[in-house]
Structure 1
Amino acid sequence: MTHIAVINYGPQLDYPAMIPELAGALHVFSHHELKNTEGLARYEYVEDCESVPYAELMIRRLARHRPFTHLVTDNEYDLERAARIREDLGIPGGQSPASALSFRDKVVMKEVAGQVVATARFARLESVVDLTGFIEKCGYPVVVKPVKQGGSRDIVVLRSEDDLLAFSRRHWREDLMAEEFIEGRMYHVDAVLADGYRFVASSRYLRSCLGVFSGQNNGSLQLRPDDPFARRLEEFLDRVLGAFDTPDVSAYHLEVFHTPDDELVLCEIASRVGGDRIPALTRATYGVDLHTAVLRQSCGLPAAPPPTAPPAEVHGSVSILPQGRPVRAPGRPPFPWVCHYEVNERLAPGAVTLYSASHLCFVIVRGADTAEVEDRLLQAEAWLMANLENLEERENQPDGDQQVRPV
């Protein structure tokens, strides 16, 4: 009999809709409160799920009475935990602990991938002496980041001796690495690969993911699959994965620098579905739900085959950053090519940007090709920025003069 343990992260995932044949076999432990949980074998919202061991303890206890046939997670920070549980409980399929580590630890990742593709020079940091030695070897700028963090969290770019001195006043972490700063545009490749199933889509970030920490709005725009550069990126993905121990079924999110010298350099690769707006953009263009495709096949069920014909249009998104002061997002931009507009109602007034997916609001647009999508994203971004409402100014206006003023 089938019993499936799920450590969930996605707040919008609807498991009964994604896998109706086996909904009654799902034991779901979730980071976020889910709306549709009726019919599941078990559902628990676990506060701070990725930071507390409750889900793992309960899965191990439940397995004493009904062994699990599958264990899945959509959360990058749970990949190693899920792999460990599978190995300990003898749950077949899925990713091994060694494979999970190679995709999670960025030093190990670059050691593995560096056998087959170009990577930035890098070093694990045990002390500040390792950092100064790396700077002497590579020069500025240098990127310092945790080896297992995501979403551009806690990343610092050191561009000078003054930056190094400022960094030395921070609390030292035991999980840091340094790497060479690579100039160039950044692309991402998102895939679901399994026996008899292959879906790969390539996109370009509107700006550097690190730009959010200097006030630049973040976004992404898709390449057409028949674009020669998209095919080049897909070939790069295949070369990278050839160096790794990969599970039978997995999603992948690859980030690649394209340098001014026309070289492709690996940034990172993760064995999970891409975050931010990537799943929504993929559904809009290809009709492929990345989470559903990987979940169903991970549980031994077929997934709808990906399309073979080129899409009529491609899509892109741009997210307006939290402004660090009380503002209100405007209404939907008045353009016919806007497909979706959403305001982050959970954002606190005056919130600041904490990671690359932080947003006050975001918009999705469509276009015939990448160039048209980029032009429309910039138009929508300009309109949104011009129409943000400054709540501080509004509160300070005299009674009877409550006008809406853009920031």
Structure 2
Amino acid sequence: MAVLILNQRRRAFAPYLSWLEDLDEEVYLYTSPAYGETTEPYALVQVFDNWVTNDRVEIDALRLYEDHPYRLIIALDESDLIRAARLRDRLHLPGQRLDSATAYRDKAVMKSLVRQSVLCPAFRRLDSPLHLYDFVLEHGLPVVVKPVDGMGSMNTEIIWTPEQLNEVWERGLGSGLMVEAYVEGEMYEIDGLMMGQEIRFASAGKYSCKPLEILQQDCFVELLSPGCAVYERLVHEVQQVIEALPSPGVSTFHCEMFHTPEDEWVFCEIASRTAGGRISESVSAMYGVNLNREWVRAQCGLQLKLPASSPPQVAGVYLMPKRPGTVKTIPQTLPFEWVKEYVPRVREGEQLDAAHSSVDAVMTVIIVGGDSVSLQARLSQLLQYLEREVQILPALKEVAWSEASVIGRK
């Protein structure tokens, strides 16, 4: 038999044949042009322009199955989960089916299923402006309006005042939105690998910034040591979430939870895919596990390499979001041995707009330390260095990135 991969990533981030070197089957690759030209020994490579909206991906996958049947469909990107699930349903293939993919993509469906098991904010799907009006009358401001199938905080906004609410109505709500009550508290995230509805591996982290501030302010995601009280509580809460949703089969997951001043855990959302924003790479730096590799191998029934003991160090990822201006200086390397990955995403002289998603960054930096104290000390050292070396020119004057943007919110 064979395996079909639906891919929109660059080859450097998706070395499927390397991950599947011991798979004794043909591998078909349907991909976007981002993958690049390749001489890798795939049994078939087909490139589709306009990947996300190109319906020929599904139609050609059906036609391919008629002549060259495959037993699995692998898709790692969130925007491909529904597409892959429709094909599995049609062809009666194992893996995440449409009911599960919908529950993990549609946040209104998701919360309807989860709220019986864990605390959720009040929410409502917005099919008309009257629904938002009624929701605010019942729950008051602030509220959060976002796409039901959004990713990376894109097109998500907090409405704080009646004036902002009027502005939303004046421009028109649009479609595919939901509203939920704003939750005051700190934001945590948990990533891992699940088989059926059982968590097989988990990593948890804490955001230094408040929800949605990641679009405007620097943020550090510090991974927690396994066994600490917060880690154990997070794993328990997320296990309840997973059990409340239709099983995706074998999948990675990325979940976010609020921790309120009243010491309650409130569900934000979960996705049946690996975290972005270099969080999964920080997990790799701490635990030595590549979640996407293990996800792909697990679906194919191959042996996994999951951590068997607590890691010898902790890790975290720093994100500097884009802000309007012109890049004057940015280092190409960082002079610290404890920096495990540095990815500058802009060039000197480049004109920047404001960040549109949580991964729209000037740079990401993964650092490691022996414990939380040393990790925070190294973060402070990194920020002092970046304050000197990174400069952005706004319209009229030059500003440096301030260390206080993260340190002041810990």
TM-score by length of 2: 0.90
> How far 1:235 moved relative to its partner?
0.8
Match of 1:399 in 2: none
Q: Mean Cα displacement is larger for which, 222-231 or 22-31? A: 22-31
Q: Which residue of 2 aligns with 1:3?
A: 2
Q: Give the secondary structure class of the aligned counterpart of 2:141.
A: coil
Task: Select the residue among 374, 377, 380 that pairs with 2:376.
Answer: 374
Q: Which AA in structure 2 matches 1:5?
A: L
Cα distance, 1:245 vs structure 2:
1.4
For 2:298 and 2:389, locate their aligned partners in 1 and report how far apart those are by CA, in whole Å.
44
List aligned pairs for 1:39-118, cutoff 5 A: 39-91=41-93, 93-118=94-119
- Cα deviations by residue, 1:240-295 (Å, 9 ceiling, x for unpaired): 11111113311111100010110000000111111111221111111111001110
Q: Which amino acid aligns with 1:386?
A: R
Check conservation: 1:14, 1:34, Cα contact below 8 A: no
2:313 corresponds in structure 1 to 313
Segments of 5+ residues of structure 2 without an aligned counterpart are 402-410
Q: State the shift of 1:37 in Å.
A: 5.3
Q: How far apart, CA to CA, are the structure 2 residues paired with 1:197 and 1:158?
A: 36
Q: Which residue of 1 aligns with 2:181?
A: 180
1:284 aligns with 2:298: no
- The offset of 1:387, in angstroms, is 2.0
Equivalent position of 2:269 in the other structure: 268
Q: Give the % identical residues.
A: 30
The answer to whether the 8 A contact 2:31-2:48 is kept is: yes
CA contact (8 A) 2:27 2:44 kept: yes
Q: Which residue of 1 aligns with 2:239?
A: 238
In structure 2, do the counterparts of structure 1 residues 29 and 381 end up closer, same or farther at CA, with 3 Å as the change threshold?
farther
* Alpha-carbon distance, 1:63 to partner: 0.8
Tell me if structure 1 keeps the 8 A contact 2:330–2:347: no
SS state of the match for residue 58, structure 1?
A: helix
Root-mean-square deviation (Å): 2.4
Whole-Å Cα distance in 2 between the matches of residues 279 and 35 of structure 1?
26
1:356 counterpart residue number: 358
Quickly say closer, same or farther: Cα 1:392–1:57, change in 2 above 3 A.
Answer: same
Deviation (angstroms), 1:217: 1.6
Q: Which runs of 5+ in 1 are unaligned?
A: 397-403
In 1: Cα distance, 2:24 partner to 2:335 partner: 41
Q: Please tell me the residue identity of whatever aligns with 2:77.
A: N
Distance 1:340 1:247 in 2: 31
Equivalent-residue separation in structure 2 for 1:299 and 1:160 (angstroms): 51
Moved more, 310-319 or 327-336: 327-336
CA offsets per residue over residues 145-186 of structure 1, 9 Å max, x none?
010011000001000001111212324312110001001111
The answer on whether the counterparts of 2:342 and 2:363 sit within 8 Å (CA) in structure 1 is yes
- For 2:319 and 2:374, the matched residues in 1 are separated by 18
Instruction: Tell me the residue number matched to 1:138.
Output: 139
- Does the C-alpha gap of structure 1 residues 131 and 197 become closer, same or farther in structure 2, counting only changes over 3 Å? closer
The separation in 1 between residues aligned to 2:174 and 2:374, in whole angstroms, is 44
Other structure's SS at 1:242 match: helix
AA aligned opposite 2:132? L
Q: Supply the AA of the counterpart residue of 2:7.
A: N
